[in-house]
Amino acid sequence: MARVARSSIGASFWALPSALRPLLRSASAVRVARCTYSQEVSPPQLTIADQDYPKDSWTNVPASILSQYGRSLHTEPNHPLSITRKLIESRFQNFRHHNDLPGVVTVHQNFDSLGFTPDHPGRNRTDTYYINKDTLLRTHTSAHEVDIFHANTSDGWTLSADVYRRDAVDRSHYPIFHQMEGALTWDRSQYATPGACTEAIRQSFNHLPKHDLVVEDPNPTFHPERNPRQESHHSAAETEIIAAHLKRSLEDMVVTIFTAADKALAASGQNAAESKEPLKVRWVEAFFPHTSPSWEMEVWWRGTWLEVLGCGVIQQDLLIRAEQPNRIGWAFGLGLERLAMLLFGIPDIRLFWSRDARFLRQFDEEKGLRRFMPYSKHPAAPRDVAFWLPRGAEAEGETVIAGTEASTSSAPNAAGGRLAEPSVDTSTHPIFHENDLMEIVRNIAGDGVEDVRLIDDFVHKKKGRRSLCYRIEYRSLERTMTAEEVNGMHEKVCRELVEKFGVEIR
């Protein structure tokens, strides 16, 4: 039987809400026999920020990504990501804010230090940009947690940075985005008894700003199967108060952001009826290797639940690895683009990368928040590409990953299934993985592509072959593209599909 991953369970690992990621472990979706990955040939090393890294069979970072490396949008004065970052930082007083950690990290930092198992699907080359087998572009800011805890320069800290994931192409997904990590720990050894430490956390909780936000939080703080507390490390009372402190702190941050967004909306006279709906937040049980119990926060915004962050009680083993065995506390990781898009009403994630003055001059730290005013809408140029997958590929047990769903909001909690550990061979590659198509399109069309999606998928019984059809929406945010230009790019995409995957264009 062919192993075909077609549902969202077969999606790009990082595009899945983290609550669903444990399910992927049972799908074995990424195991294949043949490696079809094309390696870049020369030169034998990659140069990133003046540092040379030897290439090997794991290398998969394309030039299009490297050309954006180091833009540091989150620290660029008057950039909406930087304004958003500062607004959030302002709610974490007495925290130390780290903003300039380079994006090249080791596999150890990104995965092992956090307790990702050796065969965890997040490590797969279809989902992660590898510089070589030991080095990669961080997929999340959690990659620095152990180092920052180890340095131990403050009880509370945030870290904002660019992160990199091979992912779908649409208006809310870009292969580079920005996260803010945050953590707060208490040192038990500073207190006479463990109970005194718990009491200190309670005191701190009582001093957190109160809010009148509607919060849905139907689940118990921890649950033995679905969302366990770390029984050998934390008492129930410790887990309860750390969780309460974490949730209240993050709710306060969201209230701040959305109150500012509402004010900006009212000031621009755009206070539409739907924005008058009261702000609502809900907590969804989740799973991360580095926290337990864990949650995702979702915000109700214009008729839909939008996932903005993941968080939880820090795994004590992680703090022990960081040589801070006496510290206990919480951590979170949020998407800066997600919040900035809401804050400013920015409709397309590509805009953050724009160097167009019509975009950049709309944001000014001194003048307070203003809604983004779209300056133009250039016509979309849709082109379809339909192709037969290589003959007999699936019959031979090759994996095809198509029709995945890029997700902006989390599905209802599915973290309950803590299934068997994943069995994913990360050194091989599916015969066709949608993320590769996404990357071909991005490399050829750059920011001139808005959306790529599967529109048809069928098996021709007699021929015994599977056909896929993708619709590629070409559209520049900055200018109208000519038909010849779009056709030229589309032809190149078709050619590369044939060369890289041996597909037959229909």
Kindly list the residues in this chain that would bind ligand FA5 in the complex (CB under 6 A).
14, 18, 140, 142, 165, 167, 173, 177, 179, 181, 288, 290-291, 294, 307-312, 331-335, 337-338
Record the tokens describing residue 256, joined without a space: 């701040």
String of contacts with Mg ion for each residue 304-333, x by CB under 5 A: ------x-----------------------
Using alpha carbons, list the distances in angstroms from residue 109 to 113, 116, 145, 154, 202.
5, 10, 8, 20, 32
Residue 288 binds which entry of Mg ion, ligand FA5, none, CB below 5-8 Å type-dependent? ligand FA5
Least CB distance to ligand FA5 at residue 290 (A): 6
Residue 312 binds which entry of ligand FA5, Mg ion, none, CB below 5-8 Å type-dependent? ligand FA5
Residue 140 binds which entry of ligand FA5, Mg ion, none, CB below 5-8 Å type-dependent? ligand FA5
Cα gap 259→343, rounded to integer Å: 9
Which residue number, 145 or 496, has a Cβ lying nearer to ligand FA5? 145
Record the tokens describing residue 190, joined without a space: 């500073």
Cα gap 245→202, rounded to integer Å: 8
Other CB atoms within 10 Å distance of the CB of residue 209: 12
Backbone phi and psi for residue 43, each to the nearest 5 degrees, phi listed first: -75, 175
Nearest position to Mg ion, beta carbon? 18
Contact (CB, 8 A) for 115 and 289:
yes
Peptide bond into 224 cis (omega under 30): no
Least CB distance to ligand FA5 at residue 324 (A): 16
Residue 311 binds which entry of ligand FA5, Mg ion, none, CB below 5-8 Å type-dependent? ligand FA5
Which residue number, 310 or 312, has a Cβ lying nearer to Mg ion? 310
Looking at the chain, the number of H-run helices and the number of E-run strands are 12, 20
Contact (CB, 8 A) for 378 and 481:
yes
Contact (CB, 8 A) for 227 and 294:
yes
Residue 436 binds which entry of Mg ion, ligand FA5, none, CB below 5-8 Å type-dependent? none
Which residue number, 407 or 428, has a Cβ lying nearer to Mg ion? 407
Residue 142 binds which entry of Mg ion, ligand FA5, none, CB below 5-8 Å type-dependent? ligand FA5
Least CB distance to ligand FA5 at residue 411 (A): 12
DSSP-H helix ranges across 268-348 = 316-321, 336-344
Residues with Cβ within 8 Å of residue 219, at least 6 apart in sequence: 226, 227, 283, 285, 413
Least CB distance to ligand FA5 at residue 306 (A): 8
Least CB distance to ligand FA5 at residue 338 (A): 4
Using alpha carbons, list the distances in angstroms from residue 150 to 113, 180, 334.
12, 19, 22
CA dihedral over 162, 167, 170, 172, signed as positive or negative: negative
Least CB distance to ligand FA5 at residue 389 (A): 26
Strands annotated E in 257-407: 280-288, 291-301, 304-314, 327-335, 381-388, 400-401
DSSP-based helix, strand, coil % in the chain, nearest 5: 30, 25, 45
Record the tokens describing residue 446, joined without a space: 């750059």
Least CB distance to ligand FA5 at residue 395 (A): 34
Least CB distance to ligand FA5 at residue 308 (A): 5
> Is 347 buried (19+), middle (13-18) or exposed (0-12) by CB count in 10 A?
middle
Which residue number, 48 or 161, has a Cβ lying nearer to ligand FA5? 161
Compute the CA torsion angle 80, 12, 417, 107 (nearest 10 deg). Answer: -80
Candidates 5, 8, 13, 18: give the one binding Mg ion (CB under 5 A). Answer: 18
Least CB distance to Mg ion at residue 18 (A): 4
* Among the listed residues 8, 339, 246, 289, the one whose alpha carbon sits nearest the alpha carbon of residue 139: 289
Asked whether position 291 contacts Mg ion by CB under 5 A, the answer is: no
Peptide bond into 102 cis (omega under 30): no
Which residue number, 333 or 430, has a Cβ lying nearer to ligand FA5? 333
Least CB distance to ligand FA5 at residue 334 (A): 6
Which residue number, 194 or 446, has a Cβ lying nearer to ligand FA5? 446
Least CB distance to ligand FA5 at residue 37 (A): 22
Cα gap 400→31, rounded to integer Å: 10
Which residue number, 122 or 310, has a Cβ lying nearer to Mg ion? 310
Least CB distance to Mg ion at residue 14 (A): 9
Backbone phi and psi for residue 248, each to the nearest 5 degrees, phi listed first: -65, -40
Nearest position to ligand FA5, beta carbon? 335
Which residue number, 160 or 426, has a Cβ lying nearer to ligand FA5? 160
Residue 428 binds which entry of ligand FA5, Mg ion, none, CB below 5-8 Å type-dependent? none
Which residue number, 310 or 448, has a Cβ lying nearer to Mg ion? 310
Contact (CB, 8 A) for 298 and 305:
yes
Which residue number, 32 or 311, has a Cβ lying nearer to ligand FA5? 311
Which residue number, 312 or 345, has a Cβ lying nearer to Mg ion? 312
Which residue number, 145 or 394, has a Cβ lying nearer to Mg ion? 145
> Residues touching Mg ion: how many (CB under 5 A)?
3
The residues of the shown chain that bind Mg ion, judged by CB under 5 A, are 17-18, 310
